[in-house]
Chains A and B, each alone.
Chain A
Amino acid sequence: MKKVILSVAMMFAAFLTQAAVGKPIEEVKIKSGEEKVSTLHWGEETSPGKETLCTITMKGRIDLGPIEAEVSCTTSAATCEAATVRAIGCLSAAMRTVRTVIL
């Protein structure tokens, strides 16, 4: 629980620092929408991962009404802080790119 609280706190801290590093898109899928996802938005998914790695997943949405694109960034790092910063950076870069494409 402490780890989750710590990671959320780090997430906000990372917001302020605005660290941004983009990461590779490894999959492109088209689904008809039946898939269940446990969390959405700022993917508050944290897990200790294997060995000592902390894994963070963050998600963003592009809502076109009956069509939706969902971008998610999952990062693993030695500390949850580092993973959070990287995940935020990855997602920020991705969403900036989407805005560039749109506008």
Chain B
Amino acid sequence: MRVYILICCVAMLGIAQGQTTTMFVYEGKFNSSFGRADNFRQFEGTLIVSGDRSLFTMKESGAHLASVQGNNIDLRPDSMFTVFKDVESNSLLFEFSDLNQRTHLFADTLFPMDWKTSEEQRSIGGIPCRKAVTQFKGRGYTAWYAPTITIPDGPWKLGGLPGLILEAYDDEDNWHMTFVSKQEVHGFDQDHFLAAMKKGTEGFPAFATHVKKIFSRLATSLGAQSSANCIDCQTKSVIKFHSWEKID
């Protein structure tokens, strides 16, 4: 009898947790050349909100296989802009995939954006939204948030507004996410992120250092092979690195 009661309690707990977890689905685009050229691809973003915690990620619509083609080496991870937020502990973790496509978690400040709200209004999916703009890590962003959905969250690292962000984009429209639907889901796997938080995760400066190391490794390798083969000095080779978030 006790076993049955226990099973019922666990099942009810599971149902209760499932009812409080909502997945907001976004559609949009991302230009991996950040405005220097047109390399737009379509993405589907999902923001799963469970209580004070959420997980955002965006995946390319359709099949995507990392590849080496001609002079373009495509090492984009399957999921990009993956961010785990925990409002209660004021924590934010984000994923970064390195040259070997290993993912690393780094911490960042939760909602540091200084939003400027305006009276401008529009409807997204029949939901009234208000406009807000901010500058964040070297880019300007516009967000349309829904005051009627009292979740101070949004796609990627954006959030901290008095309502869920239903549409967000940068000033050059290289990244654009628009809410399309929502559905109830049965929670999401938080263990990976909670374990990282418990263990202690390095912050954004460590991420910047990590990225610079990768760049340096590439530059050193290219420099080494180049000087070995340098025959005349009429050829000039340049390697430039571009990051969506300002890291220097």
Interface residue B36 (Cβ < 8 Å from any Cβ of A): yes
- Residues of chain A contacted by B233 (CB below 8 angstroms): 24
Query: Is the CB–CB distance between B75 and A63 below 8 Å?
Result: yes
Nearest opposing residue in chain A for B246, CB measure: A32
- Residues of chain B contacted by A42 (CB below 8 angstroms): 70-71
Least CB distance from A92 to B in Å reads: 8
Query: Is the CB–CB distance between A74 and B236 below 8 Å?
Result: yes
Least CB distance from A33 to B in Å reads: 4
- A-B contacts at CB below 8 angstroms, number: 209
Query: Is the CB–CB distance between B35 and A36 below 8 Å?
Result: yes
Interface residue B61 (Cβ < 8 Å from any Cβ of A): no
Chain B 225-248 interface residues, beta-carbon cutoff 8 Å to A: 225-231, 233-248
Segment from B8-16, B48-56, B184-192, B209-217 that makes contact with A = B209-217
In whole angstroms, how far apart are the Cα atoms of A9 and B42 in the complex?
33
Instruction: Name the interface size band of chain B.
Output: 35 or more
Interface residue A27 (Cβ < 8 Å from any Cβ of B): yes
Q: Is the interface of B mostly helix, strand, loop or mixed?
A: mixed
Residue B225 contacts which of A36, A68, A70, A94 (CB distance < 8 angstroms)?
A: A94
Query: Is the CB–CB distance between A70 and B226 below 8 Å?
Result: no
- Residues of chain B contacted by A2 (CB below 8 angstroms): none
Chain A 43-58 interface residues, beta-carbon cutoff 8 Å to B: 53, 58
In whole angstroms, how far apart are the Cα atoms of A59 and B233 in the complex?
18
Least CB distance from A101 to B in Å reads: 5
- Residues of chain A contacted by B227 (CB below 8 angstroms): 24
Nearest opposing residue in chain A for B60, CB measure: A65
Interface residue B194 (Cβ < 8 Å from any Cβ of A): no
In whole angstroms, how far apart are the Cα atoms of A58 and B245 in the complex?
26
Query: Is the CB–CB distance between B222 and A25 below 8 Å?
Result: yes
- Residues of chain A contacted by B32 (CB below 8 angstroms): 63, 65, 68
Instruction: Name the interface size band of chain A.
Output: 35 or more
Query: Is the CB–CB distance between A90 and B237 below 8 Å?
Result: yes
Among the interface residues B70, B81, B224, B238, which one has the most CB atoms of the partner chain A within 10 A? B238
- Residues of chain B contacted by A35 (CB below 8 angstroms): 36, 240, 242
Least CB distance from B223 to A in Å reads: 4
- Residues of chain B contacted by A86 (CB below 8 angstroms): 234-235
In whole angstroms, how far apart are the Cα atoms of A97 and B156 in the complex?
33
Query: Is the CB–CB distance between A64 and B71 below 8 Å?
Result: no
Least CB distance from B229 to A in Å reads: 3
Least CB distance from A49 to B in Å reads: 10
Query: Is the CB–CB distance between A27 and B222 below 8 Å?
Result: no
Query: Is the CB–CB distance between B71 and A60 below 8 Å?
Result: yes
Least CB distance from B231 to A in Å reads: 6
Nearest opposing residue in chain A for B156, CB measure: A66
Residue B244 contacts which of A23, A66, A70, A77 (CB distance < 8 angstroms)?
A: A66
Query: Is the CB–CB distance between B225 and A102 below 8 Å?
Result: no
Query: Is the CB–CB distance between B99 and A26 below 8 Å?
Result: no
Nearest opposing residue in chain B for A23, CB measure: B235
Residue B74 contacts which of A30, A63, A67, A77 (CB distance < 8 angstroms)?
A: A63
